[in-house]
Each structure stands twice: as structure tokens, then as C-alpha cells.
A = this chain, B = another copy of it.
Amino acid sequence: MRGQHVSMDLDLTKDVYPSRMDTDPQWLPRQDPVVYSEWSSESPIRKEQVEFYQKNGYLFLESFFAEEELQGYQEEARRLQESSRGLKADEIIREPGGDEVRSIFAVHRSQPVFRELSQHPRLLAIIEFLLGSSVYIHQSRINYKPGFTGKEFYWHSDFETWHVEDGMPRMRALSCSIALEDNYAFNGPLMVLPGSQHIFVPCIGQTPDDHYKESLRKQQYGVPDHKSLTEMVKRFGIDTPVGPAGSILLFDCNIMHGSNSNITPYPRSNIFMVYNSVENKVVQPYSGQNPRPEFIATRQGI
């Protein structure tokens, strides 16, 4: 079901997306395709969907999973949350200033249900089409985003982090977020700036060592400046794709996104999987620092 490969010359030693080096960062145009396959009538999504993804950098597929599939994922996620409550493990991230479980990482490795989900044939076909190659999971996690106390996630491009801190060479990856609950405009849904995937916004300042321990709880580095964000929102606007549980959101690795807090009683948990092209495997981090641990960014056996 793989699409036609759009060929690219890659010199992985060259850092084509420098970031966190300057105090007055200049925007860079994207050097890579957004969609890596040519559409044909055999493709796993419609032509308008490909065009929408190319233009806006995301695709929302309402009620993608069948009811019984969804129920299986929901139950497993709840079971995992319960069993993680008392546990101490690197993979378990808690809310700032609380004991509530915020995220659990590497669930595609630890849980057979989620390993199978990560290879769901209908899902994989779309992702391999968009990235034009075989893919592997760069990162997976469940975000619990609890009701009442769900904290915000500040604006960021995932790629900026994956490039600088994990050594992902080029923009040939995407995220898949699976809604485990109904999403509303008022319970802190993901906000994206449609079209922002075409621009790389370098961030300001150096990254402290072991910064990931804090950044998973609260973003402080690897975030764009206010001026850039204001300009981007003016240019691209803000979309908040929401829908019922079982919907999925596919979004490009470089789209600017974030979410507000959630004081409603409705949790907004989701399963989050990052697919990277096998032709874009991670190298040494471009920051020159140590790579982040395996549970955040797969390096072994890829």
C-alpha cells in the first residue's frame, strides 16, 4: 500500500535546521516535502485529503476506529493508569505540582494491545503513503490530560525538539493522536496553526543537560518567541480539530501546536504515536548533547 517515493538527497552530517543557537532567530523555509507520495486512485486516502494535509499539515479522521477496537484501547489505558499510580518509573510522567499521572511513555513496547495498534493496517497504510516509505515508531505515549487540573502544553514544533535533542535529520515524520474521549472546544483540545509546517522557526537559547526530565512536565526550552508566534497566528490562524472518541488526528512533525489547560470535568486522554520514515533514522543529536533516553526516542533496533 506504499506510495511512490519522492527521492531526496540527504547529507545527514549537515544541519539544515539549526536551532537554539541564536538570540535573534530567522525563520527558514522547509527543505523537505510534506507529502512523500503521488496520489493515485489506489491511494489509501482521497485526493482532497492529501491536498488538505499538504496545505494545512494535518488530517482529522472522525470515528476512525470501530467501537469495539476503541473500547479495548480505553480499557487498557485506564488499567495502565491505575497500575502506574503507585509506581516509580522513568516512563511515568506526573503533573507539575501533583501526583496525577500525566503521561506514560513507550506503551507500544510495554503493552501488546498498543503494539498491535501501532501496526493497525488501515492506519499504517495512510502513514506510509504520507511518508512515502516504511516507518517505525520514534516515540509513543498515552497522555491522560485529566479533568479539573489538566495543564496547558505551550506552542512548539515537535520536529524542533526531535531534531535538536534526538538527532532526527529531516522532516519526514508525523504524529498520530487517537482520542480516547470525546474532544470539545472547552476541554483543552490540540490547537494547530494550519500551514505552519512550511516554516522552521528556530528557538532561542541553549538546552540544559537532561532537560527532558522537566520538559515532559512543562515546556521551557525549545519554544518559539512571542514575536514569531504572533506573526504565525496572524498568517495561519488557529484550528482546533475536535470530535468523538475514536477519532484520529495525523499531523506533520513541524506543525506549530499547543493546548490550553482543562478545568472541565472531562479528561482528554489520547494515545500518541510518532511515526518516522526508515529513511530518516535518528543520528547524533544536532545539539551535540547526549541523546534522550530510549523510552522517549527509539534508537535501538530500528
Contact = CB atoms under 8 A, between A and B. Distances in A.
Copy number in the complex reads: 2
Interface string A263-287: 1111000000000000000000000
A260 interface: yes
Interface string A160-174: 000000000000000
A262 B260 CA distance: 6
Interface in A25-82: none
Interface stretch (A115-123, A147-155, A201-209, A244-252): A147-155
A155 B186 contact: no
Given A185-B186, A230-B265, 5 more contacts: A148-B229, A152-B261, A152-B263, A154-B263, A191-B264
Interface of A: 147-148, 152, 154-155, 184-186, 188, 191, 226, 229-230, 233, 238, 240, 258-266
Which 8 A-B pairs give the minimum distances between C-beta atoms? Answer: A261-B261, A185-B185, A230-B265, A260-B260, A152-B261, A260-B261, A233-B265, A258-B263
